[in-house]
Amino acid sequence: MSPENAPPPGNFQQPGPPYGQQPGQPYGQQPGQPYGQPSSRVGQPGELLDRFLARLIDFAVLVVAGSIIVGFLVVSLLMGGSFGVFGMGGGNFLSSLVSSVLMAALYLGYFAYFESSRGQTLGKMVIKLETRGPDGGRPTMEQAVKRNIWVAMGILGVIPILGGLLAGVGQLVAMILIAVGINGDVAGRRGWHDKFADGTQVVKIG
């Protein structure tokens, strides 16, 4: 190289960014990701374990709330009967009928209301998940009801003797099929209930 073509002292050419990296973007930072924010699962479909934990929290809340609202206030105080989840407890048939209907309404109403109005139940708030409709926004009330209709199987408790057993088995089968569907759908993590509700999806938001 001739002296006149040599670069000025101290003015060395910097190597370009790695393949796929934008100029000025920190190494390892994904395109469009805010500066300094580490890679995470935010915005990705919710994983099976996270969704299971969220449901577990929700069911724990509902069992406590249902026992208080339905068991004590309605069945015990107003009817003099005893409360049994899904109609399996002692007491007369009328108290079992009322408790089964009200518990089914409470479960379905809880999930449908919170998912359609906020996109999150209490469990999803804790685990940082959000339910979204097919268009990416919040699901409609109809979609929220459709994706959670299986939680209302407690209504089968109105059937004498075998009602509680049928409700429990039905919910267990529904949950197993949901887990299998989520685990098998690598791209969207949608269970059968999401597909039944026109294609809803649960995503990680935190």
Pick from 137, 97, 115, 102: nearest CA to 58: 115
Contact between 158 and 87 under an 8 Å Cβ cutoff? The reply is yes
Q: Let me know if residue 43 belongs to a domain.
A: no
**Burial label, 175 (beta-carbon count in 10 A; 0-12, 13-18, 19+):** middle
Pick from 149, 144, 156: nearest CA to 113: 144
Q: Let me know if residue 79 belongs to a domain.
A: yes
Contact between 151 and 111 under an 8 Å Cβ cutoff? The reply is yes
**Cα-Cα-Cα-Cα dihedral sign, residues 186, 189, 195, 198:** negative
Give the pLDDT means over successive 10-residue stretches in the chain (206 positions): 55 50 48 46 92 97 89 61 45 74 94 97 97 96 97 91 91 96 95 97 95
Which residue segment(s) compose the domain that 103 sits in? 48-204
User: What domain count does the chain have?
Assistant: 1
Q: Let me know if residue 133 belongs to a domain.
A: yes
Statement: the pTM of the whole predicted model exceeds 0.75: no
**How many whole angstroms separate alpha carbon 79 and alpha carbon 65?**
19
